[in-house]
Amino acid sequence: MINTYFLFKFTESQFNRIFMFKSLVNLFFPKVCYACLNHLNDNEEMVCVSCRHDLPITNFHLNDDDTVLKVFYGRAKVENATALFRFEKKGLVQQLIHGLKYKGYENISPFLGDWLGGELKSLEDYQNIDAILPVPLHKNKLRSRGYNQVEGFGKQIASALNAEYLNNVLLKVTNTASQTDKKRFARWNHSEELFTLENAKSIENKHILLVDDIITTGATLEACISVLNQAKNVKISVACMAMA
Ligand SMILES: [Zn+2]
């Protein structure tokens, strides 16, 4: 650390200026844990050691637990399904996912993908995954948020499983109604979530892992699965960041 300026051929005064700049940045934008919002130590990244220990991991995939799979019973054919965390209101996971979706903390996504991908790559059930597909955002939502919050998650899982990441297959065609509209059109249920299939050939005869942030009723994933089944001979599994 002391010799950093020497390695990069900075002069000592340049180094001092960089050091001062970094100190200022740390002063005004201190690194905080994305889960508990406490300050991070220098050797911690993204999530503090204490939260890494306290986050409510499910271990569903490690224990052959079919809790997530059961969501789809009688609704859609799914090979395997899992979620990294249990989602609890006002808990650490809610804080993490809120940061990811609404505060622009995009790098939470690959962090969680590395975590889950690292676990799935040694499991037989996930060895034959050919492609990872994210649940898509409507293009207006993508524009306002700036990123699909499951993209980094999906890409890291794809790299852990040696699978391809395909975001040009499943497209969302209508915007989810606002809360007031939802109330007004309560009887529509989830029919406002419409997805279409593009480039169907690219998933023929493949085992797809569909990824999403939080699974609650499973309605969104079910809608995606029914569209994906329009392609020839596809098998579908599901992996989410958290299960509510
Ligand atoms: Zn923390």
Centre of ligand 1 from the C-alpha of residue 227, in Å: 39
Which residues does 222 contact at the CB level (< 8 Å), separation at least 6? 72, 75, 76
What's the CA-to-centroid distance between 36 and ligand 1, angstroms? 4
Give the pLDDT band (50/70/90) at residue 172: very high
Rounded Cα gap, residues 244 and 241, in angstroms: 10
What is the Cα–Cα distance from 237 to 15, expressed in whole angstroms? 51
Q: Interior CA angle at 176 toward 104 and 91, to 5°?
A: 50
Distance 96 CA to ligand 1 centre (A): 10
Express as a percent the part of the chain with pLDDT over 70.
83
The ranges assigned to domains in the chain are 26-54, 56-243
Give the model's pLDDT for residue 206. 98
Average pLDDT over residues 73-87: 96
Cα 124 to the center of its chain, rounded Å:
22
Structure confidence by residue, pLDDT tens digits, 2-21 = 444 444 566 777 767 766 67
Q: Is the backbone of residue 189 left (phi > 0), alpha (psi -120 to 50) or beta?
A: left
Residue 126 Cα to ligand 1 midpoint, Å, equals: 30
Q: pTM of this prediction? A: 0.83
As given in the structure block, the two tokens for residue 132 are 């990872």
Residue 187 has pLDDT above 50, yes or no: no
Domain boundaries 56-243, corresponding CATH code: 3.40.50.2020
The CA distance from 111 to 52, in Å, is: 12
